[in-house]
Amino acid sequence: MQGVRAFRAYLEMIKVEHSIFALPFAMIGMMWGSRYVSKSAWPGWSIFFWIVVAMVSCRSAAMAYNRIADREIDAKNPRTKMRAIPSGLLQLRQVNLFFYGSCAIFFVACWRLNPLALALSPIALAVTLFYSITKRFTPLCHFVLGLSLGIAPSAAWIATTGKLAAPIIPITLAVLFWTGGFDIIYALQDDEFDRAQGLRSLPQTVGRTKALIISRLSHTLAVLCLAAGGAMVGAGPIWFAGVAFAAGLLVYEQSLVNPEDLSKLNMAFFTLNGYVSLGLFFFALGDQITRQ
């Protein structure tokens, strides 16, 4: 039973269910990159496998580092005090070992992909780790998180093609603005705690109403970037139907939250954003299948 509890604690620590946010966009980057350099959207099992390993290990390292860096803050916040380290489910030594192990696996995966992926791997890891400390000094931390997820499609493109090219940049920007927008919504529930602890966020800095306006503008930019990215790679009508689908979900997500009522925040944050990322992936996949 102790082993099962520890395993569950590790899964909770890295929020494995939240992989649904970034991994589908990495798969889109992989398909578009493969199509860019060949006539097929499928790069082969080896590249696919090592992209998944790199994605999972990098994200696991970032989440473990976040738990290490925030352990004292988490212990003070009623919403987070039951996380693995402050609750005692995992010891700091265990989480440190998990962090360094995840980093090592990530570098091996990048090495197995191609030289550029390996050369850029320290930068990619640094970006994902940097988010954890940004809330201490900037209210723009939401967009640093957005960048840490946004590099996923570009990283997968590089892993597939061995180089970075302009057509994938709009999708990276789309994920950046999409993530920043929904993280602002998520931060609404902690604005009073952040203010008391001297932590920074847009809700804490400009207030809930203005923060929601910024969130909505961010989601608008995300949709425009999704459309621009599709145009640059020559995507077909199925992809643009997916962009319209995502836009509709984001409008609905924004309608669920207002400054005085956060009762539907969890649905707006997790459920609908999961539908956005998975939905876009399946529309992208359908677009590629019809072009075979």
Does some domain include residue 21? yes
Q: How far is 80 from 169, CA to CA, in rounded Å?
A: 35
Does some domain include residue 111? yes
Q: What is the pLDDT of residue 292?
A: 63
Does some domain include residue 290? no
Instruction: Domain count for the chain, please give it.
Output: 1
Whether 18 shows a pLDDT value over 60: the answer reads no
The fraction of the chain above a pLDDT of 70, given in percent, is 93
Whether 11 shows a pLDDT value over 80: the answer reads no
pLDDT digits (tens, 9 = 90+) for 144-193: 999 999 999 999 999 999 999 999 999 999 999 999 999 999 999 988 88
267 confidence band (pLDDT: 50, 70, 90): confident
Tell me the residue range of the domain where 201 lies. Answer: 2-285
User: Pick from 251, 240, 179: which is nearest to 216 by CA?
Assistant: 251
Of 61-65, 106-110, 207-211, the one with minimum mean pLDDT is 61-65
Q: What is the pLDDT of residue 230?
A: 97
Does some domain include residue 155? yes
Give me the mean pLDDT over the 247-274 stretch. 85
Question: CA–CA distance from 227 to each of 151, 239, 244, 290 (Å)?
Answer: 18, 9, 9, 19
Does some domain include residue 292? no
Q: What is the pLDDT of residue 1?
A: 45
Whether 130 shows a pLDDT value over 50: the answer reads yes
Residue 189 belongs to domain with CATH number: 1.10.357.140
pLDDT digits (tens, 9 = 90+) for 94-114: 999 999 999 999 999 999 999
Does some domain include residue 184? yes
How many residues does this entry show for the chain? 292
